[in-house]
Amino acid sequence: MAAAPAVARPRISLRHRLAERGVDRTLLLLLPAVVFVVALFIYPFVYGLQLSFQPQAGSDAANKYGTGPFADYRLFFSDPYLRNTIWTTLKIGLPAALFNVLASVPIAYRMRGRFRGKRAVTTILVVPITLGTVLTAEGLLAFMGPTGWLNRILLDLGIVDHPVRLTHNYWGVVFSLVITGFPFAFLLTLSYLTGIDPTLERAAATLGAGWWQRFRHITLPLLAPGLAITFCLSFVLAFSVFPSAIMVGEPARQTRVISIAAFHAAFEQYDYSMASAIAMIMGAVELIVIGLVLGWRARLYKGATGGKG
């Protein structure tokens, strides 16, 4: 095997050139995952995209706008009942995501160090995430319903005269998004915060910065990129609200979110091209919001935060 030399040289150098760019047999390990993503994610997505440009004969869109490629989209944007689902979704998703992120900052800031019971608190906060939206919605109906414990407390304390309506409307959905979304945002923020070297703040303190100045000029700028990511992920969760919008919301009007419209088109009207069009619009709106946030993030300092995270 030692006598391969002279002939083998050019072949080795080609392999070398590829290896230098990181291309070698190890990349074969990627193959199953790539096949998988292409077959189950990219292909359906592309399929859905082209389906959305082929209105189904006999569908509302086809009847109104013909079978041109944009009929489904034209119907969506001209029919207020469909078009408004975008605003409805944003009106629920944006405030909920924003609240979750903003509320998690002071709390995570307070809890960023080590203290007894930290793991217990974080564990309890994980519970609503694992419970998921369906159970949370069910619980909200019982707890915040007109005869639920919450209204009972409010009545007994004399804060209100009549039970407050907190379910089957806008607020019910927002509550459910906060309950499942806040712990998510909190844990993310906490992990970003613990990644910031605490000695940086101590250094600022020795230079005479008070706690607000330390937070404002040291911690917040280092945390901001992480917050942008946290907001994006929270927004994705809130934007795709589906079961709770049906269960604790008012799915016909106030909380008719875009995912309900997509589901309705696909599985009640069996208009797959319209459903695909709505899904594409949904994805586009979401990516626009995320793009804006990430665009803002790109202007921030994103280097090392000195911590162990």
Partner 1 sequence: MSRSSTKISELRLDKVCREFGGVRALDGLDLTISGGEFVALLGPSGCGKSTALNCLAGLLPLTGGTITLDDRRIDGLQPEQRGFGMVFQNYALFPHMSVRSNIGFGLRMAKVPKADARRRVDEAIRLVQLEEHTDKFPGQLSGGQQQRVAIARAIVLEPPLVLMDEPLSNLDAKLRLEMRTEIKRIHQTLGLTTIYVTHDQEEALSLADRLVLLRQGRVQQIGSPEEVYTEPANRFVAGFMGYRNELGLPVSQVNEKTVVLDGLGGGLTGVRRDDLGARAVAAIRPEDFTVGDGPNATEVTVEVVEYQGREQAIQARTDDGVDLHLRADARLAPGDRVTVSVPPERVLVFAAESPAAPEEVA
Partner 2 sequence: MTAIMEAPPAEEKAPRRVALRPGAWIVWGSVVFFLLILLGVVGAVVVNSFGRKWFGGWLPKGWTTHWYGATWKEFDLSGVLTVTLEVALAVVVVSVLVGVPAAYALARRNFPGKRVLMVAFLLPILIPPITYGVPLATVLYKFHLAGRLSGVILANLVPAVPFVILVMTPFIEQIDPKIEAAARMCGARTRVIFTRILGPLLIPGMLAAAILVLVRTVGMFELTFLTAGADSQTLVVALYYSVSAAGIRAQQETDAMAVIYTLSMLVLLVAALRFVNPTQLVTQIKERD
Q: Which is nearer to partner 1, 6 or 28 (CB)?
A: 6
Q: How far is CA 71 from CA 42, 53, 268, 284, in A?
A: 24, 8, 19, 18
Report in angstroms how near the CB of residue 118 gets to partner 2 at its nearest: 9
Three-state secondary structure call for residue 27? helix
Q: Which is nearer to partner 2, 134 or 164 (CB)?
A: 134
Show Cβ contacts of residue 22 under 8 Å, excluding neighbours closer than 6 positions.
none
Report in angstroms how near the CB of residue 141 gets to partner 2 at its nearest: 8
- Where residue 36 falls (left for φ over 0; alpha for ψ -120 to 50; beta otherwise) is alpha
Please choose which of partner 1, partner 2, none residue 115 contacts, taking the beta carbon within 5 to 8 angstroms, the exact cut-off set by kind.
Answer: partner 2
Report in angstroms how near the CB of residue 7 gets to partner 1 at its nearest: 11
Report in angstroms how near the CB of residue 12 gets to partner 2 at its nearest: 19
Report which residue type is found at 303.
Answer: G
The Cα–Cα gap between 110 and 94 comes to: 25
Count other C-beta atoms under 10 Å from residue 104's C-beta: 26
Closest by CA position to 296, among listed 219, 224, 222: 224
Three-state secondary structure call for residue 225? helix
27 binds partner 2 (CB under 8 A): yes
Q: How many residues in the shown chain lie near partner 2 by CB under 8 A?
A: 101
Three-state secondary structure call for residue 210? coil
Q: Are 176 and 125 in contact (CB under 8 A)?
A: no
Residue range at the interface with partner 2 (CB under 8 A); choices 5-13, 54-62, 100-108, 217-225: 100-108
Report in angstroms how near the CB of residue 71 gets to partner 2 at its nearest: 18
Q: What residues make contact with partner 1 under the rule CB under 8 A? A: 1-5, 8, 12-13, 15-16, 19-20
Q: Which is nearer to partner 2, 227 or 280 (CB)?
A: 280
Q: Which is nearer to partner 1, 10 or 80 (CB)?
A: 10
Report in angstroms how near the CB of residue 284 gets to partner 1 at its nearest: 39
Closest by CA position to 138, among listed 271, 248, 237, 221: 248
Q: What is the DSSP code (8-state) at residue 56?
A: P
CA dihedral 167, 188, 85, 249 (to 10 degrees): -10
Burial of 66 by CB count in 10 Å (0-12 exposed, 13-18 middle, 19+ buried)?
exposed
Please choose which of partner 2, partner 1, none residue 163 contacts, taking the beta carbon within 5 to 8 angstroms, the exact cut-off set by kind.
Answer: none
Query: Contacting partner 2 (CB under 8 A), which of 132, 291, 295, 306?
Result: 132
Please choose which of partner 2, partner 1, none residue 53 contacts, taking the beta carbon within 5 to 8 angstroms, the exact cut-off set by kind.
Answer: none
Residue range at the interface with partner 2 (CB under 8 A); choices 17-25, 53-61, 68-76, 217-225: 17-25
**Segment 37 to 96, residues that bind partner 2, using CB under 8 A:** 37, 40-45, 47-49, 51
Closest by CA position to 231, among listed 196, 279, 193, 182: 182
Query: Contacting partner 2 (CB under 8 A), which of 125, 200, 224, 293?
Result: 125
Report in angstroms how near the CB of residue 29 gets to partner 1 at its nearest: 18
Q: Which is nearer to partner 2, 9 or 114 (CB)?
A: 114
Query: Contacting partner 2 (CB under 8 A), which of 11, 16, 17, 152?
Result: 152
